[in-house]
Chain A
Amino acid sequence: MTTPKSPSAPSTLDDYANVSRLCSLCSRMCRHSCPTHLITRSDACSPIGRALIIELYRGKKSALTEAAVERLYQCNLCGACKSWCKPRHELPHIIELARERVVEEHRAPMGTLDIDKNVLHSSNVYGEPHNQRFTNLHKALQHTTPNAKIAYYVGCTTAYRHPEIALATQQALSALGLEFRFLSEEEGEVCCGSPLIRAGFTQTAKQLAQQNVQAITKSNVTTVITTCPGCARALREDYPTLGIPLPKKVRVFHITEFLSRYQKKLAPLLNPLSPSETTSITYHDPCHLGRELGVYKQPRHLLQLVPGSQLVEFPHNQEYADCCGGGGALPKTFPTLAEEITKRRLADAQATSTHHLVSACPNCKRHFTETQSAKGSKVLEILDIMELLAQSLKPKSRKDK
């Protein structure tokens, strides 16, 4: 039985009763892929364990105890379990719905309450001043076109923590001669709501969705691009599920999907990263971009456009890629667990003997760089795909001054 999310009817935990029941009775066909299980090695901290906890709750056999809430929030919602599930059960979505109940019962973990509070006060997950959302992007702002039909939805992490990704994106778009704009006006973009949907704060997420849909509608753009897979998924898939879709004329793309349409034009603009030798690049598939949006080929095609690049794969890649550790609000709720997951992925990257670890998600970059820095060694050059492409752009095609 497949369990697609219906865009027309917001789902409830009971809508998925048969699925959570079957998952709870599974012979653990996916447990070995769950990054949180691989660290804790606990059967409760696994997809099947979580499904059983949900079934116990639904069947009124067990309340949402502290331990039950912990196990549910220890899931990083990476979706790896789905890749090993022949019937493709949507367990991560069911866990999101269970978290809604946790929030309704006022039992949400402290870390997630912080996210909710920050967003309600400042419209971003970090609690930074909303009026400074584009402060770090002033260089890129100079290259925007007010009435452009393409809007670059930046997202919280890029705006406040990794503005270099936005600057690199601007360079690539400008090099291709593509006019774009930010949603930087007073009633412009706010947090996409993805972290809140994942954490069970659906009501707050709905408010954000309404604000973003209003801002995008008002901007009269036909294309929204984003460098954050979480934002892309929220705008494209979660908003319709929440009953707040974007206008039909607006199409949402992750930047790798969007730029893959310009490969022929982009290729001649790119230089080798190293004049004398090949550059090995290990590409990490972000969970939201890969498993949720199905985007695997496009980033790889773009990386292969860089002259002298040699794409190296993780042993677990594409549909079977391991999470960076940053998903599902885990860094806020269980930071040690999140860090252990990140370390594991970094170790796998190092084992590929790569020069560059490249992802296409600001959150992946953030968790990889922070964890590598904490270890006190800079073994890998960790970059977003847009930074790598921008580095490769020939000087004359760069319009960043």
Chain B
Amino acid sequence: MSKASTAFNVNRVKRQLEVWLGKDNVSAAEVDKICYSRDAWPLRLIRLGRLVLEYQPDLIVWPQTVEQVQKIVRLANQERIPLIPVSGAGGVAGGTLAVTGGIAVDLKKMNRVLEFDEHSLTVTVEPGILGQELEEYLEIRGYTSGHFPSSIFSSALGGFAATRSAGVLSSKYGKIEDMITGLEVVLPTGDLLRTKAVPRSSMGPDLKQLFIGSEGTYGIITELTLRVMPLPQATKFASFLFPDLTSGISAVKQIFRHDLKPALIRLYDENETRFVLGRFKSPPEGACVLNLMYSATKPLVQLENRMITKICKNTGSEDLGPGPSKHWWENRFDLYYPSSLNMGPGMLYDVLDVAASFANLEKMYWAMREAIEATGVSTMSHFSHFYPDGGNIYVIFIGHAGEPEAVETKYNEVWQVGLEAANQAGGTLSHQHGVGLLKADWMPIEHGASGFALLQAIKSYLDPNNILNPGKLGLGTAPVKQQKGGR
């Protein structure tokens, strides 16, 4: 069985694509290819900061219709050309980097809102609409998607679905997989798959969930239907300072056991608490701040505020008022701008986003922190997505390692020890950032031999020529064995 490779006649393919898409929608220009050789993966940015040129596609195309996407996919399948679906390229794991050249299929020109159904509270969109663009569209009409990841300015809806993303208000609105009611996907053969946009179905497995989180390896998402909600009537902020992490987590458990789901719930460890409280307060050693935002109807906001305040006070916390939480909300993007601190020469940084049940959560935190700090970098962490049964941890690390090689060695070491610790503690190795290239080697560990073999078999069945986003999720890095009776 052959697999996709870069050994294709770029000029001939380019000419064909120009006929279908128009000259303005195809580029082989060097500077364009370099601009598509990055996402927001810190390691790629660290290397790009040294002007390391890598991961360039051979061509970039901007289709505007699903029919054009189908034509591109059929051509690529016939000619064994790798295709890298990309929209916002706001991912942090290298999911849209061209590992073996090929064609970057930029979906950002497919950015229309196809239908807004106020009766059903759903919106149907094309994959290239940016999160911010959709939110502006909805807000003007009095609604919200409720999906507010930190990459909302740069990421698009197709990317949200493909990476199984989560926004900062996920406790109330859910994650992207909870929001999506229907999908349209172009399969690697060029065939179209549409799932019905319905509230729920028990007609066998939920096919759309196969593609949510598949990072473009199983198909190219060309349409999504999502749930929306009316804009909240009221919003209120609150912050509580707990003497330690254990009491903070205990309060969070109580909040969920009382059937309360504040829109924002973020518990910071002692290191990040010092950073978050900043101008507000100098916290005692070991203290952890919990930031909350209630966002709902007025009576519900009042009720959440009253009940959660009582829970937090009963758990030994100090009420800090709305200040720290409100300040965080209004300045929440500050850390996402590169600075001389994280992007200076010799610096390394990134975030490990893991999750575990409450039974393992605190244990996992300490194990990861100890393992990562032992490499000589600093950490600060927060728990920003909670469920009745557990939550995530967002372990931010930053350090200095000097020479470029040392930076990359240290970077890889931190990830290795951090994820080993998380895995041993029973956690998942990614809560919301996805796999991309960064965590590709961890897929067999996460899913086990049988689970990963199943993912590989699905890939092999859907994409026998391995054209779609090869190498991502650890899939399709080697020729895939032909399935008997396969397509």
| Among candidates B53, B154, B339, B340, residue contacting A32 with C-beta atoms closer than 8 Å | B154
| Among candidates B49, B154, B333, residue contacting A25 with C-beta atoms closer than 8 Å | B49
Residue of A nearest to B132 (CB): A32
- In the assembled complex, the CB of A27 is this many whole angstroms from the nearest CB of chain B, namely 4
Assess whether A52 is in contact with B35, with CB atoms less than 8 Å apart. yes
Of the stretches B24-32, B300-308, B386-394, the one at the interface is B24-32
A24 neighbours in B (Cβ, 8 Å): 48-49
Assess whether A29 is in contact with B333, with CB atoms less than 8 Å apart. yes
**Is the CB of B45 closer than 8 A to any CB of chain A?**
yes
**Those 7 A-B pairs whose CB atoms lie nearest each other, nearest first:** A67-B29, A41-B108, A28-B154, A44-B35, A27-B40, A49-B35, A44-B32
- Interface size of B by CB at 8 A reads 40
**Is the CB of A207 closer than 8 A to any CB of chain B?**
no
**Is the CB of B151 closer than 8 A to any CB of chain A?**
yes
Known: A21-B49, A65-B29. A43 touches B109 (CB 8 A): no
Assess whether B36 is in contact with A67, with CB atoms less than 8 Å apart. no
B339 neighbours in A (Cβ, 8 Å): 1, 22, 87
- In the assembled complex, the CB of B222 is this many whole angstroms from the nearest CB of chain A, namely 15
Known: A25-B48, A27-B90, A55-B51. A65 touches B35 (CB 8 A): no
**Is the CB of B458 closer than 8 A to any CB of chain A?**
no
Assess whether A43 is in contact with B89, with CB atoms less than 8 Å apart. yes
Interface string of A75-89 (1 = CB under 8 A from B): 000000000111100
B27 neighbours in A (Cβ, 8 Å): 42, 44, 67
- Contact residues of A between 51 and 78, Cβ < 8 Å to B: 52-53, 55-56, 59, 61-62, 65, 67-68, 71
Assess whether B51 is in contact with A84, with CB atoms less than 8 Å apart. no
Q: Could you tell me the distance between the alpha carbons of A378 and B58 in the complex, rounded to whole angstroms? A: 45
Residue in B32, B40, B333 whose Cβ sees the most chain A Cβ within 10 Å: B32
**Is the CB of B1 closer than 8 A to any CB of chain A?**
no
Interface string of B330-343 (1 = CB under 8 A from A): 00011011111001
**Is the CB of B140 closer than 8 A to any CB of chain A?**
yes
User: What residues of chain A have their CB less than 8 Å away from a CB belonging to chain B?
Assistant: 1, 18, 21-22, 24-32, 41-44, 46, 48-49, 52-53, 55-56, 59, 61-62, 65, 67-68, 71, 84-87, 315
A-B contact count (CB 8 A): 108
A65 neighbours in B (Cβ, 8 Å): 29-31
**Is the CB of B177 closer than 8 A to any CB of chain A?**
no
A26 neighbours in B (Cβ, 8 Å): 337-338
Residue of A nearest to B110 (CB): A41
Assess whether B153 is in contact with A52, with CB atoms less than 8 Å apart. no
**Is the CB of B83 closer than 8 A to any CB of chain A?**
no
Q: Could you tell me the distance between the alpha carbons of A32 and B154 in the complex, rounded to whole angstroms? A: 7
Assess whether A41 is in contact with B333, with CB atoms less than 8 Å apart. no
Interface string of B99-131 (1 = CB under 8 A from A): 000000010110100000000000000001010
Q: Could you tell me the distance between the alpha carbons of A71 and B153 in the complex, rounded to whole angstroms? A: 21
- In the assembled complex, the CB of B185 is this many whole angstroms from the nearest CB of chain A, namely 21
Assess whether A41 is in contact with B128, with CB atoms less than 8 Å apart. yes
Assess whether A28 is in contact with B90, with CB atoms less than 8 Å apart. yes
Assess whether A315 is in contact with B136, with CB atoms less than 8 Å apart. yes
Assess whether A61 is in contact with B40, with CB atoms less than 8 Å apart. no
Residue in A24, A27, A31, A86 whose Cβ sees the most chain B Cβ within 10 Å: A27
- In the assembled complex, the CB of A382 is this many whole angstroms from the nearest CB of chain B, namely 23
Assess whether B35 is in contact with A25, with CB atoms less than 8 Å apart. no
**Is the CB of B210 closer than 8 A to any CB of chain A?**
no
Residue of B nearest to A49 (CB): B35
Residue of A nearest to B137 (CB): A315
13 extra interchain contacts, Cβ-Cβ under 8 A, other than A25-B49, A29-B154? A29-B336, A41-B62, A42-B32, A43-B89, A44-B32, A46-B35, A52-B48, A59-B51, A62-B34, A65-B31, A71-B32, A315-B136, A315-B140
